[in-house]
A and B are shown apart, each in its own frame.
Chain A
């Protein structure tokens, strides 16, 4: 494709690159839909990917969620105490973890760990002609490489988000109960009174959406890899960077949309 030159070359080129990228992602989604509707889901590969994505990401997601919950509680407790609101820490931390921190941090961790692995695995297959070998054997690369990862991510991501939230709350509870000697009943009562299914639903929906985005972006980078090891490295870096940025941007708009559907503070 020929890109413009001159004064507006840079913004023009960037915009055209963006359009080309969107087109490629849309084409990948289209192929993914065809693969999904074909019913050939390769469940053995899906199970293998669930182990790699879901089971393998638990430690990083749990540690991230737990320490975020702990430090959030530690910081907010001190400030809330100035106003005499320290008993509400449980409620604030719980809603924040369910609606924002749990899914976003789990998403970022998964983008780093799983997105990079997806781009590197598929990218290596691409540059070593293994993807072409699949095509030569009549196997569409999206059917074999992308769909199993996509399905595994859809299944794994809500569980990972739930783990992130659960361990964040548990760590928060430990900090308030053992670090500040706040009666656990206060913490639990406020937390349960102010956290509802809508808050949890938002976390799960976000996890689901983030999982889709990470898989699409990372697999696309893998399938687009060229120029040997350098290309694979570049694709892997791009997969993590683009996934993380898109995740944060989409989270903002998703928060507005979901807050409209499930307003905060309603039961």
Chain B
């Protein structure tokens, strides 16, 4: 197992994973108390793909992201990231996987006592980069990529919601992750701020061929950035396909959701 964890190539490990899959969920189920959040979820995400998770609130979209990065373990089923079965790893064994996969939290989860610059530099310092010039260069690059270079000395409390999310993205990309999980990157943002985030995700995907998995309720974003869309409904994947297929879906539940008809939860 240790060898497979430390692999740095994109080729999948020998064993259970499909040939080109970067992330694979096999029969993943999760229950919190009496609520069955996920039920036998099967999903494969290719390297470089941008997949959007949609669905009503509380249907397990964020829980699915947290399964992928190992913050939550499934009750049953298997989760593979780059060929490594992460649901069997202990917390301390997850570190190599978490160098490949980073996550933007819904509230950005910036460290309150650190400036924007220190927040963004944090993963580098923790991963052993000690060259000050190297750190400065990479922080500057990451902040320029999210148009925040001039705010580098501000603390998170002095930032707007959009700026906090962009700082979170800069922190997620600075260590050259192969995959970024975005938990509602557009929530709470005005249409312009939301578009800035969308453009940024597209730029990351084009420049670095990053695999992106995005939980969102913003259907405009979905049609703009997704290669594929997965709709979670009552613990199961109700729809999986391209944005065009989503728009043309004959499933009433899907149509109600994308058109915002409230009887979907009835």
Q: Does B123 contact A (CB under 8 A)?
A: yes
| CA gap between A129 and B109 in the complex, in Å | 5
| CA gap between A135 and B91 in the complex, in Å | 8
Task: Known A34-B92, A132-B71; judge A137-B107 contact (CB<8 A).
Answer: no
Q: Does B94 contact A (CB under 8 A)?
A: yes
Q: Nearest residue in B to A129 (C-beta to C-beta)? A: B109
Q: Nearest residue in A to B69 (C-beta to C-beta)? A: A136
| CA gap between A138 and B111 in the complex, in Å | 15
Interface string of A125-146 (1 = CB under 8 A from B): 1001110110111111000000
B126 x A133 contact (CB < 8 A): no
A130 x B126 contact (CB < 8 A): no
B107 x A129 contact (CB < 8 A): yes
Measured between beta carbons, the chain B residues less than 8 angstroms from A129 are 105-107, 109
Partner of B94, one of A34, A125, A132, A138: A138
Task: Known A34-B92, A130-B111, A132-B71; judge A138-B98 contact (CB<8 A).
Answer: yes
| CA gap between A185 and B127 in the complex, in Å | 61
A128 x B109 contact (CB < 8 A): yes
Q: Does B102 contact A (CB under 8 A)?
A: yes
A135 x B71 contact (CB < 8 A): yes
Partner of B98, one of A34, A125, A130, A137: A137
Partner of B109, one of A34, A133, A138, A140: A133
CB neighbors of A among B124-148 (8 A): 126-127
B71 x A136 contact (CB < 8 A): yes
Q: Count A-B contacts at CB 8 Å.
A: 48
A138 x B71 contact (CB < 8 A): no
A84 to chain B, nearest CB (A): 60
B33 to chain A, nearest CB (A): 11
Interface residues of A, count at CB 8 A = 13
Measured between beta carbons, the chain B residues less than 8 angstroms from A133 are 103, 105, 109-111
B174 to chain A, nearest CB (A): 10
Range of interface residues on B (Cβ < 8 Å):
20 to 34
Task: Known A130-B109, A130-B111; judge A136-B91 contact (CB<8 A).
Answer: no
Q: Does B47 contact A (CB under 8 A)?
A: no
B71 x A140 contact (CB < 8 A): no
Q: Does B95 contact A (CB under 8 A)?
A: yes
A33 to chain B, nearest CB (A): 13
Measured between beta carbons, the chain A residues less than 8 angstroms from B69 are 136
A140 x B91 contact (CB < 8 A): yes
| CA gap between A110 and B133 in the complex, in Å | 41
| CA gap between A92 and B74 in the complex, in Å | 61
Q: Does B155 contact A (CB under 8 A)?
A: no
| CA gap between A130 and B105 in the complex, in Å | 9
Q: Does B26 contact A (CB under 8 A)?
A: no
A135 x B107 contact (CB < 8 A): no
| CA gap between A256 and B92 in the complex, in Å | 40
Measured between beta carbons, the chain A residues less than 8 angstroms from B109 are 128-130, 132-133
B127 x A138 contact (CB < 8 A): yes
Q: Does B122 contact A (CB under 8 A)?
A: yes
A83 to chain B, nearest CB (A): 58
Measured between beta carbons, the chain B residues less than 8 angstroms from A136 are 69, 71, 98, 102-103
B126 x A138 contact (CB < 8 A): yes
A125, A132, A133: residue with the most chain B Cβ atoms closer than 10 Å? A133
Q: Does B152 contact A (CB under 8 A)?
A: no
B122 x A137 contact (CB < 8 A): yes
| CA gap between A103 and B238 in the complex, in Å | 62
Sample 24 A-B pairs with CB under 8 A, ordered by A number.
A34-B92, A128-B109, A129-B107, A129-B109, A130-B109, A130-B110, A132-B66, A132-B71, A132-B109, A133-B109, A133-B110, A135-B70, A135-B71, A135-B94, A135-B98, A136-B69, A136-B102, A137-B122, A137-B175, A138-B96, A138-B98, A138-B126, A138-B127, A139-B126
Residues of A that sit less than 8 Å from B by CB: 34, 125, 128-130, 132-133, 135-140
Residues of B that sit less than 8 Å from A by CB: 66, 69-71, 91-92, 94-96, 98-99, 102-103, 105-107, 109-112, 122-123, 126-127, 175
**6 other A-B residue contacts (CB within 8 Å) besides A130-B110, A133-B103:** A129-B106, A130-B109, A132-B66, A138-B99, A138-B126, A139-B126
The 8 closest A-B pairs by CB, nearest first: A138-B95, A133-B109, A129-B109, A138-B98, A129-B105, A136-B103, A137-B123, A139-B126
